A and B are shown apart, each in its own frame.
Chain A
Amino acid sequence: MKRKITVTLIVIACFLLQCTLFKSLAIASISPNLLVIVTSSFGFMRGKKDGMFIGFLSGLFLDIFYGGTLGFYALIYMYTGYSNGFFRKIFYPEDIKLPMILISVSDLACSLLIYFFQFLLRGRFAFRYYLMHIIMPELVYTILVTVFLYFILLQINQKLERAEKRSTGNIA
């Protein structure tokens, strides 16, 4: 229960920061994608199910406030969280390489899906342009923010895991 509340609060906080503070800090009108970081991190830290739910929640917020079609972002983010869950077995908290790679790939995949469904299908074919001016800058910026945000998320997760272990230990 505590975990659910904490995670929901994290998602809400990141969503709010993403559409207010980070929009003001945007470089060349590109801002980082915090929700992908959260979804992906909890995916490989906690597994498929948690990643899936957190992705669904993040996507749903985006859909309600900024999406054109309800359910589109929810779907994309949900699958991002779920696929990151496959890497839980090879995830070690001390190692930063795997999280970096996974978060980058997730962000790239999300951007490409959005481009494909919302731009390519409307006849915007200049893929190279969008790749160089939207997708890559967003990726770089997101990786930059990951360095800080990932450690915060990791700390929170470890604290939660310790608390969970303690409470089950006491009762047993």
Chain B
Amino acid sequence: MRRKPKFTFPARFLLIALTILCLGMVYASYALDITGSPLNTVAGYVFIPMQRGINYVGRFISDKADNLNDLRDVMEENAQLKAQVDELTAELNTIKLEQYELDNLRELLSLDQKYPSYKKVAASVIGKDAGNWFSVFTIDKGKNDGIEVDMNVIAGKGLAGIVTDVGPNYARVRSIIDDVSKISAMVVTNNDRCIVHGDLQEMNASQRILFTDLKDSKDEVTEGAEVVTSNISDKYLQGILIGNIGEFKKDANNLTKSGTLTPAVDFEHLEEVLVILDKKESGGETE
């Protein structure tokens, strides 16, 4: 294969060409809202199976290590829990009676259940943002499982994030603690609305996120009050728990309050999440 040396472009020109290509892509993703769907498809089929494999092995090993440690604790706990079961069974019976009563009353008042049971699909977290700046993670379910952009993701008892990009077999979720995340929320006690921001600085320092623009003119909000997604949010379904209010103070304008919020979800150990397949119906396109 020793022909004449092939003509090659100098590195400079290639650099300029690739720079233009990159800037073109940046422009395209801002202006035209293209998120590289063909690339997503290809990359999804190459990477996701491998990512899943690594996670499977990793979890297997850490489970085995944990098992040995936990055995003694578990036995101790078992005795305690058995006692608790008895106690709770008695309690449950009373509650069942009350529930029966409540159901009857609801029927009488023809009240709908406030939060309809949404259709959900379970997914595992298979990768986290490679850098240290953002809180984005990928899950192992995608378009093939009916997931679409803007679907809400919950974990445990609270809101974890929102789907921002979908591939055939994976989806990218931006968590609520991400620095660019903003959610319209309300406090349960008096339905006053506020904005919940993710914040890298606050999250690193004290595992909390921020809220601002809370009106609370009657000073009804206290520390520990629950904050849920609001009814006017255009992407988040109403009434999903976000977290509990920590410390807060009045703003300089003397009208609104702002402070910190402890998220309900443990983002350090996020492994399984639920994606809500119902999307919020908001009037018109939000482009």
Interface, chain A (partner B; CB < 8 A): 12, 15-21, 23-24, 28-31, 33, 35, 47-49, 52, 56, 60-66, 68-72, 74-75, 78-79, 82, 85, 114-115, 118-119, 122, 124, 126, 129-130, 133-134, 137-138, 168, 171-172
Interface, chain B (partner A; CB < 8 A): 1-2, 11, 14-15, 18-19, 21-26, 28-30, 34-36, 39-40, 43, 46-47, 50-51, 54-55, 58, 62, 126-134, 136, 138, 172, 179-180, 200-201, 204-205, 268
A70 x B28 contact (CB < 8 A): yes
When distances are taken between beta carbons in the complex, the residues of chain B under 8 Å from A118 are 133-134
Write the nearest CB–CB distance from B15 to chain A, whole angstroms. Answer: 6
A16 x B47 contact (CB < 8 A): yes
When distances are taken between beta carbons in the complex, the residues of chain A under 8 Å from B26 are 69-72, 75
A64 x B29 contact (CB < 8 A): no
Contacts A114-B133, A130-B201; A171 near B2 (Cβ below 8 A): yes
Identify the interface centre among B11, B62, B132, B138: most chain A CB within 10 Å of its CB: B132
Contacts A16-B54, A70-B29; A129 near B134 (Cβ below 8 A): no
Write the nearest CB–CB distance from B40 to chain A, whole angstroms. Answer: 6
When distances are taken between beta carbons in the complex, the residues of chain A under 8 Å from B43 are 61, 64-65
B131 x A49 contact (CB < 8 A): no
**In the complex, A151 Cα to B217 Cα: how many Å?**
63
Specify which of B15, B36, B127, B179 is in contact with A82 (CB 8 Å cutoff): B15
Contacts A21-B58, A31-B132, A52-B11; A133 near B204 (Cβ below 8 A): yes
B36 x A78 contact (CB < 8 A): no
When distances are taken between beta carbons in the complex, the residues of chain A under 8 Å from B129 are 19, 66
When distances are taken between beta carbons in the complex, the residues of chain A under 8 Å from B1 are 171
B11 x A85 contact (CB < 8 A): yes
Write the nearest CB–CB distance from A138 to chain B, whole angstroms. Answer: 5
When distances are taken between beta carbons in the complex, the residues of chain B under 8 Å from A133 are 201, 204-205
A29 x B268 contact (CB < 8 A): yes
A74 x B22 contact (CB < 8 A): yes
Contacts A21-B58, A69-B26, A130-B201; A16 near B51 (Cβ below 8 A): yes
Specify which of B22, B126, B133, B136 is in contact with A71 (CB 8 Å cutoff): B22
Known contacts A20-B55, A21-B54, A61-B47; 15 further A-B pairs (Cβ under 8 A): A16-B127, A18-B130, A35-B130, A52-B11, A52-B14, A56-B22, A62-B131, A66-B129, A70-B29, A71-B22, A78-B19, A126-B201, A129-B201, A133-B204, A171-B2
